Amino acid sequence: MAQLQTKFTDFSFSENPPVGFHFVVVFYFDGFTLNPLDTHFQKVSGITSEIQTSSFNEGGENLYTHRFPDKVTYNNLSLERGFVPGSPLNTEFNVAMSTLKVRPGNVLVALLDDDGLPVSAWLFWKTYPVKWKISDMDANSNTVVIESMELAYTRIQTLEV
């Protein structure tokens, strides 16, 4: 029991859990980052991975089914922000949506602490655009135009910070 207690006391963590509203998104295409305007987003979602399984029924065994890991699947990475006309990221999405020529790049999403230092980060490998949307424009409302972007990717790597 003393060893277990020592392990928990050696683990350092903040008294306050990280907040979900302080983060940054960095795009890497051809080894370069895009414009700093393309790092600020209102919302990031889709950071999900799931192991799919295959079932196998053993002959004569009726109490349970064997389940074996098959492959890892991911949702699309969804990003939302106020519309930024002419940004390099919009240009990348426009080229992909107009010509079906995608240029896969990596995307880093970092959760930040109160001082702006990374607490945790996720690297999305070989991302490419799959959906782009502009919010409704309504003369009767006083809202910011929001653009939504979705990226497919091959895998997520959690980075130790």
Q: Does some domain include residue 12?
A: no
φ, ψ of residue 5 in degrees (nearest 5): -65, -40
Residue 3 in any domain: the answer is no
- The reply to whether 8 falls in a domain is no
Q: Which residue has the tokens 């003393």?
A: 2
| Tens-level pLDDT at each residue, the chain (161 residues) | 455 554 445 555 556 777 778 889 999 877 666 677 788 899 999 999 999 999 998 888 788 899 999 999 999 999 999 998 888 888 888 999 999 998 899 999 999 988 888 999 999 999 999 999 999 998 998 899 999 999 999 999 999 87
In a domain, 4, yes or no: no
- What is the 3-state composition of the chain as percent helix, strand, coil, each rounded to the nearest 5? 15, 45, 40
The amino acid at residue 48 is T
Q: Considering the domain boundaries, does residue 105 fall inside one?
A: yes
Q: How far apart are CA 62 and CA 10, in angstroms?
A: 47
Q: Is residue 7 part of a domain?
A: no
User: pTM of the entire structure?
Assistant: 0.79
In a domain, residue 128? The reply is: yes
Give how many domains the chain has, as a whole number.
1
User: CATH number, domain at 49?
Assistant: 2.30.110.20
Asked whether residue 13 is domain-assigned, the answer is no
| Domain, as residue range, for 62 | 19-159
H or E segment at 107?
strand 105-112
